Amino acid sequence: MCGIVGYNGTMQAAPILLEGLEKLEYRGYDSSGLAIRDGAKDIEIVKAKGRLRVLAEKTDEGMALAGNCGIGHTRWATHGEPSETNAHPHVSEDRNVVGVHNGIIENYQELKEKLQRHDYTFYSETDTEIAIKLIDYYMKKYREGPVDSIARAMTRIRGSYALVVMFKDYPDEIYCARKDSPLIVGVTEDASFAASDVPAILKYTRNVYYIGNQQIARLGKGTAEFFDIDREAVEIEPSEIKWDAEAAEKGGFEHFMIKEIHEQPAAVRDTIGSLVQDGKIVYGESGLTDEIIRNTSEILIVACGSAYHVGLAAQYVFEGLARIPVRVELASEFRYRNPILNQNDLVVVISQSGETADSLAALRLAKESGIRTLGIINVVGSSIAREADHVFYTLAGPEIAVATTKAYSAQLIVAYALAIQYAYVRGQIDEDRYTAMIAEIQTLPAKMERVLDDKERIQWFAAKYSNAKDMFFIGRGIDYAISMEGSLKMKEISYVHSEAYAAGELKHGTISLVENGTLVVGVCTQNRLFEKTRSNMVEVKSRGAYLMGLTSYGNYSIEDTADFTVYVPKTDEYFMTSLAIIPLQLLGYYLSVARGLNVDKPRNLAKSVTVE
C-alpha cells in the first residue's frame, strides 16, 4: 500500500501534492518523493527517506520546485527496504518516463530479465522501476504514444498496480493506469488530479472518476479521457463524494479497524500472490531452500499478542501436515528461560511491526546460539526483517488500528504456505494434495468476502449483548487457537473480561464461573472435534450460559444447542482460522462501538511495543 497524488493544472504543483500526500500518509510513510515539471523543461525529482515531513522540509514545503504539473508518492515498502533510492518516483535512464506506483508486480523477476536482455540496468530494488522501464521499452520499440506503450506494458504485467506516469515528450499530460489497486481522478475547470484515495483531492473537487480495472486515463489541464487495455476510448461517469474529510480517510468506514477488517481479503490475496507462482510456492528472495527444509529438526515459533496466536494456529497446520515438531513460545518468556535450542532448529519470529522488543530479543538470542531464524514480517526494513536470516513479508499494508486484523490474516497465509511447503518437500503430502491445498488457499479471499457480507447479524448480536461482563470462548485444536484470538480482540477493544479455554479443559475449573446469562462462544470448525465441543457447549448451556455457535455451513445440528449461530464457508480444515476469525473480529468491534469506546486506540495499548 502506498499513496499517490498527481496534479496537472495552473497552480504550483508541489505544495498541492505535498498536501495531498499528507492526507494519504496512513497508506505509507517510510519514504516519499515528488517529480515536478515546468513545461518542456527537464523533470525535477526529489526524494527523501522517512516521514513526509522530511520531504516537505527538503523542498521548502514544495516552494523549491517550480512547475504546475507533477506526481508524488508516499511509500510503504514491499520490494526493497525504505531508502531514498527505492523511494518513488522512478525513472527510465534517459528520463523519458517518470512514474509512481502502488501495488505488487508479481512477475517482476521475469520482466527484469527480459529488460536486462535489452541492455536495461537497474538502480533500485523496486518492482516499480521495472514497470517504468517496461513502458519505456515499448515506447521505443514500437514508436507509439503513451497510451499504447502503457497498454502494452499492462498486458505483460501480472499483479496489481496503480501507476501515474509522465513522459518527457508530453509535457502537459499525466497518464494513469490501474488494476486491482485504487486510483481515482478528479477534474476541475483548469486542473486534473489523480490520487490513491479521496482525501487527497477532496479540497479541490467532490466529483471523482473511478478508473476501471485495466483502464488508462490521460489527464490534461482540466480534462480526463479514459481508455481500455485495447486502447479504445471508454466513458466513465463521475461520482459525487458525500463523505466529510475524516470519513474519507477511512474510506467511508467509521473506524480504521472496520476498514482494515474489510481489507483482509485484499491483504490475503496480495500475500498469496507473493508466495504462489504457477500453482507452486516460491521462496522468492527469502533465501529458504528445500535443503534447509529437509534438514530442520524442530520449529520454534516465537511472537507476542496476536502474532503468537498465529503461531498457535500454525502449530496445528505444521504438525498435522508436515509431521514436524513445533513449539510455540511467547517471546517475553522465551528470552528469559534459557531455552534449549538445537543446531538444526528453525526459529520463526512472527511480527507485524518487526520492532516488538521481546520478539527482537528472542530473535537475537536464537542468532547468538547459532540457530537459523526466519521472520514473518509486515514492515519491510524493520529490525527483525533486517536481522533474520530469512524473511517472508506479509503484504497487508500499513495497519493503523491498534488491534491487528489484516496483518494477523496475512501472517496466517505465510504460515500455511510454509507448512504446505515443509509437508511437500519432506514427502508428507504428494503432488496432488500439494496442488489442491495451494488452490484451496487461493479461494480464501472470496470466502472471506462472503463472511464479511454477513456482518449485520453480528452487529445485531453485539448490540444485544453490549452489557456483557464476562465472556468465554471455547474450542478444541485449531478452534482453540481461533478462540484465543477472538478472546483477545474482545478484551483489547471492548474491555469485556474474556477468556479462551480449551473446551476439554472447562470441567477442570472454568465451568464454575458459568452462571445464568454468561456469554459463551463455541467454535466448532473441525469435523473430527465437532461432537466433542458440542457436548462441552451443552454442559455450559445446562448451567445457564447463553451460547453463540461458530461453525461452517452444513453443520446445522449446532442450532439444537446454540442460541445464536454464525456460519462460515467450508474450506480445508487447516485453513479454517482465516474464515472463523472474521466473525470474532466483528464481534469485538461492534461490541466496542456499542459501548461507545475508542475502537482504534484502546486505553493502555500501543500498536508497536518497543519496550520490554
Residue positions annotated with a catalytic role: 2, 607
Number of residues that bind ligand G6P (CB under 6 A): 16
Q: Is 381 exposed, middle or buried (0-12, 13-18, 19+ CB in 10 A)?
A: middle
Q: Sketch the per residue contact string, 308 through 327, with ligand G6P: x for CB under 6 A, - otherwise.
A: --------------------
Question: CB-wise, 510 or 608, nearer to ligand G6P?
Answer: 608
Q: Taking CB under 6 A as the rule, does residue 533 contact ligand G6P? A: no
Q: Taking CB under 6 A as the rule, does residue 357 contact ligand G6P? A: no
Q: Taking CB under 6 A as the rule, does residue 74 contact ligand G6P? A: no
Q: Nearest residue to ligand G6P, using CB? A: 305
Q: Taking CB under 6 A as the rule, does residue 598 contact ligand G6P? A: no
Q: Taking CB under 6 A as the rule, does residue 5 contact ligand G6P? A: no
Q: Which residue has the cell 505544495?
A: 15
Helix (H) or strand (E) holding 593: helix 576-594
Q: Taking CB under 6 A as the rule, does residue 545 contact ligand G6P? A: no
Residues 48, 357: Cα–Cα separation, whole Å? 27
Q: Taking CB under 6 A as the rule, does residue 409 contact ligand G6P? A: no
Contact criterion met (CB below 8 Å) for 129 and 90: yes
Using the rule CB under 6 A, give the single segment among 293-301, 352-360, 420-428, 553-561 that binds ligand G6P: 352-360
Q: Which residue has the cell 505488487?
A: 104
Question: CB-wise, 406 or 534, nearer to ligand G6P?
Answer: 406
Out of 86, 356, 498, 571, the only residue in the binding site for ligand G6P (CB under 6 A) is 356
Contact criterion met (CB below 8 Å) for 87 and 74: no
Out of 59, 68, 96, 359, the only residue in the binding site for ligand G6P (CB under 6 A) is 359
DSSP string over 202-269: TTT-SEEEEPPTTEEEEEETTEEEEEETT--EE----EE----HHHHHTTT-SSHHHHHHHTHHHHHH
Long-range CB pairs of 281-286 (<8 Å, 24+ gap) are: 281/417, 281/420, 281/421, 281/424, 281/438, 284/392, 286/374, 286/390, 286/391, 286/392
Using the rule CB under 6 A, give the single segment among 34-42, 128-136, 211-219, 353-361 that binds ligand G6P: 353-361
Q: Sketch the per residue contact string, 369 through 408, with ligand G6P: x for CB under 6 A, - otherwise.
A: ---------------------------------xxx----
> Please, which residues have CB within 8 angstroms of residue 409's CB and are 6 or more apart in sequence?
264, 267, 268, 396, 448, 578, 581
Q: Taking CB under 6 A as the rule, does residue 577 contact ligand G6P? A: no
Q: Taking CB under 6 A as the rule, does residue 304 contact ligand G6P? A: yes
Q: Sketch the per residue contact string, 100 through 129, with ligand G6P: x for CB under 6 A, - otherwise.
A: ------------------------------
Neighbours of 598 (CB within 10 A): 11
Residues 131, 105: Cα–Cα separation, whole Å? 8
Q: Taking CB under 6 A as the rule, does residue 352 contact ligand G6P? A: yes
Binding site for ligand G6P (CB under 6 A): 304-307, 351-353, 356, 359, 402-404, 605, 607-609
